[in-house]
Amino acid sequence: MLHARSRDPTGDAVMTIVSNELLEVLACPACKGTLVAHERKGGLVCLSCRLLFPVREGVPIMLIDEASRLDDEGECI
């Protein structure tokens, strides 16, 4: 399967940890906030409460017990 669209020069190098389709249907289980993929941390981060949910083998673990909170200092998403 060929990738016809490669307009984004950085797009090909970045490994997407979850699909955008999956991101669209997922919400933070703690606050229903918007989640974004955090490539460096290898997980999904809630923009509202800054919980980081791990992704294992492409499956996001949407459990508050499994999540860790990002520190406010030095972390930019």
**Contacts to Zn ion by CB under 5 A:** 28, 30-31, 33, 46, 48-49
> In this complex, which beta carbon is closest to Zn ion, that of residue 14 or of residue 36?
36
> In this complex, which beta carbon is closest to Zn ion, that of residue 14 or of residue 63?
63
Q: What angle do CA 13, 19, 22 make, to 5 degrees?
A: 160
In the complex, least distance from residue 45 CB atom to Zn ion, rounded to whole angstroms: 9
> In this complex, which beta carbon is closest to Zn ion, that of residue 11 or of residue 24?
24
Asked if 19 and 26 touch (Cβ cutoff 8 Å), the reply is: no
CA 77, CA 24: separation in Å to the nearest integer?
Answer: 17
